Amino acid sequence: MNKTINLFTIGFTKKSAQQFFELLINAGVRRVIDTRLNNKSQLAGFTKKDGF
């Protein structure tokens, strides 16, 4: 049995948290997987904050 999985990427460095999550919600995204090697880099944007 073959199952199709749709996989997309999204940039976040020039988006506010609100813009980022609105894009995901409006696209009907149900799951997000963070695959960044280092989430504390200078390019991490809003995701550098504790509790993200």
52 residues of the chain, pLDDT tens digit each: 789 988 888 876 777 888 888 999 999 998 888 777 766 665 556 666 655 5
Q: Report yes or no on whether pTM surpasses 0.95.
A: no
Q: What is the pLDDT of residue 25?
A: 94
Residue 44, SS3 per DSSP:
coil
Cβ–Cβ < 8 Å for 29, 22: no
CA 20 to chain centre: 7
Among 46, 22, 1, smallest CA distance to 34 is for 46
Q: What is the pLDDT of residue 6?
A: 83
